[in-house]
Each structure stands twice: as structure tokens, then as C-alpha cells.
Amino acid sequence: MPHPRQFATIPLTETPRATDGLTATVPRQLVHRASVAETFLTGATSTGTDRFTVFAQWPRAHQLHVSPDRSAYEPLLVAETVRQTAALLAHTAYDVPLGHQFVLRELRISTRPECLAVGAVPAEPVLHIAVSDVDHRAGRPAGFRCDADIRLGGERVATGHLAVTWTNAAVYRRLRGGRTATTVSALPVPPGLPPAEVDRALPADVVLAPTGRPGRWQLRVDTAHAVFFDHPLDHVPGMLLLEAARQAARARTRGGRRRPVAFDAVFHQYAELDQLTWIEAVDGGSGNGDRVQVLGGQGESTVFECEVGTEGR
């Protein structure tokens, strides 16, 4: 959910198209990114009413979205690609002005890890998108749901579902009560867990700090992190909360013997930068240990919850 920027809306028909080879990424502003390197979409086309095909390219190396040994794409790369897709379509197909603030409500993905190996060239997934439940206010779209079928070489490698709403800058300012990226500062960042415990290579990418209680951690909010905070924000971004769920599942499943493959997340309210965020994980209700329930809370409120599906290595 970026800060307001003034750009003209670019029609879907004018976004770059992926053909037999990559041409260029879509304009970074359309996917709410400041960095071109963090822009994964390369084009889109309409295939029918509320139906679209979106093209992407995934890098062979990435600080977060490729495994530390550079052998596999991480499931949360799928989540980020679906998030960018929703932003792109909102701006180009549903005439949402750039500068509107987006609120992520739900994000669900399921992946086939055996199909997400990093190859000799960057992967170029194709996303088949169905948009539904378009909410209108004052005659203009104010939110929608979208379902994604993600394929590589024609083979399904993942599915995704996202629900998002948006509002104009003036309404957002009233909603946030004057909280902006310049008026709100994050709390000091505590020492994190050992990177290997959450399958990360670098200490800077660890988002959980120990609390002395099994299954409970403090969220580390480092606003200098170049991926989670690609641009200044007045709240904790949803992708950071999803990474916290991923790392909590890793830590919960005893040294990473099980890997996260699916995420089913609901975002209830903004997670504030200047409040402690607690992450808790318990075994899910499946009875065989393949699901982990992760909650994120501030004070007495639950800000998000995520069920993480895992499988053995």
C-alpha cells in the first residue's frame, strides 16, 4: 500500500506484452514498487469480461524469493506475483487512479514445490486471472477478488486467491488519523533468531525475535529492509506479515524438516509500526502436523492470521 504518487492511469492495452521473449517489465508504479528489480510482471492482456492473462519473469537469484542455495523459487514469490497482478489490473483494467491506497484483505496460495526449481534461465510464469465480486461505490470500482492459475511451460505450478479494496488519498488520510511514514517511527529492531532456524541466509532477513516462550516471537520491523520496505510506509506491510508466518512455521516444525508450501491469510487491520507485534504459532487442526496456525497481534487485537500448509522434505 504505497504513498500517493501522481501518475496518469495507463490502459491495459498499453502495458508491455510478453511474447516469445521478455520485452520489459510493466511500469513499477502500477505494481506499487519503487524498484524495477522488485517488479516481476512483464505484460497483460484481456481475454474476456473480467478475465485476463498476465505475464511475469522470476529472477534466478533474489534476497528473499529464491532459496538460499538458489535451487528453488519460494512460495511467497507466488504471493508477491499475485499481489502485483491485482494492483496492475486494478489500475489498467478497472480505472483505479494511481495514488489510491490499497488494503489487502485476504491472500491464499498453494504451490507445487517440485515444479518451482530454478532453471538455467529466469522462469516466465503465465497467470490466468478471473476477477469476481467487483465492489462499486459511487459508481466506481472499490475492490475485487481475483483467482489465479499460475503455469510454467503450460503446467500448473501454483494457484492463488486475493481480495483487495482501495480508497482515495483523502479518505485514507482520515482513516489513518494523521499517521504517515514521516510522522510514525518503527520500534527498535531486537536481535533475531539464528538465520538457519528459519531457513534464511542473512541475519537481516530474519523477521522473528525470540521471547523465551516456545511458539511466540516478536516481529522484527526493519524499515531499512530493501524488499519489505521498498518504499516508505506508515504500517507493517502484508508481505512482511506473510514472511513472519513462513518463518514461524519453519521454527515451529523443528529445524525445517517440513517446508511451507501453502498460505491462507486474512488481514484484519493495520499493523502499526510503533507498536509491538507478537507472532504466535500452534499446530493446525489436521492432526498430522502438516498445518501451522500463525496469529499476529498488537495489544488485545489480532491484526492477521495465517494457516501455513507444510510438507516433508
* 230-283 residue pLDDT tens: 999 999 999 999 999 999 999 987 655 789 999 999 999 999 999 999 999 997
Query: Above 50 in pLDDT, residue 118?
Result: yes
Q: What's the CA gap between 206 and 217, in Å, rounded?
A: 12
The pLDDT value recorded for residue 254 is 62
The pLDDT value recorded for residue 138 is 86
What contacts 28, CB < 8 A, 6 or more positions away?
34, 35, 36, 38, 39
Query: pLDDT band at residue 19, thresholds of 50, 70 and 90?
Result: very low
Q: What are phi and psi of 238, to 5 degrees?
A: -60, -35
Query: pLDDT band at residue 9, thresholds of 50, 70 and 90?
Result: very low
Question: pLDDT digit string (tens) for 285-298?
Answer: 655 668 999 999 99
**Rounded mean pLDDT, 88-116:** 96
The pLDDT value recorded for residue 248 is 96
Query: Above 80 in pLDDT, residue 6?
Result: no
The pLDDT value recorded for residue 172 is 94
In residues, how long is the chain? Answer: 313
Residue type, 241: L
Element (H, E) at 248: helix 238-252
E-assigned strands of the chain? 41-48, 51-56, 101-111, 126-137, 140-152, 155-167, 208-210, 216-219, 258-267, 278-283, 291-298, 301-312
**Rounded mean pLDDT, 3-18:** 43
The pLDDT value recorded for residue 206 is 98
The pLDDT value recorded for residue 139 is 87
Query: Above 60 in pLDDT, residue 8?
Result: no
**Rounded mean pLDDT, 159-176:** 95
Query: Above 50 in pLDDT, residue 99?
Result: yes
Q: Give all domains of the chain, ordered by start, each with its CATH number.
A: 12-175 (3.10.129.10), 178-312 (3.10.129.10)
Query: pLDDT band at residue 15, thresholds of 50, 70 and 90?
Result: low
The pLDDT value recorded for residue 256 is 59
HSE-up of residue 297 (Cα within 13 Å, Cβ side): 10
Most confidently predicted of 76-80, 176-180, 212-216: 76-80
Annotate 84-120 with b (16+ C-beta within 10 A) or e (fewer).
bbbbbbbbbbbebbbbbbbbbbebbbbbebebbebee
**DSSP conformation letters of 77-113:** HHHHHHHHHHHHHHHHHS-PPBTBEEEEEEEEEEE-G
Do 42 and 25 touch, CB atoms closer than 8 A?
A: yes
CA angle 111, 117, 120 (to 5 degrees): 145
The pLDDT value recorded for residue 81 is 98
Do 193 and 212 touch, CB atoms closer than 8 A?
A: no
Sheet of strand 140-152: strand arrangement = 41-48, 51-56, 126-137, 140-152, 155-167, 101-111, 258-267, 301-312, 291-298, 278-283, 216-219, 208-210
Question: pLDDT digit string (tens) for 182-236?
Answer: 999 999 999 999 999 999 999 999 999 999 999 999 999 999 999 999 999 999 9
Query: Above 70 in pLDDT, residue 5?
Result: no
Q: What is the CA radius of gyration of the chain?
A: 19
DSSP 53: E
The pLDDT value recorded for residue 275 is 97
Residue 89 gets the label, from left (phi > 0), alpha (psi -120 to 50) or beta, of alpha
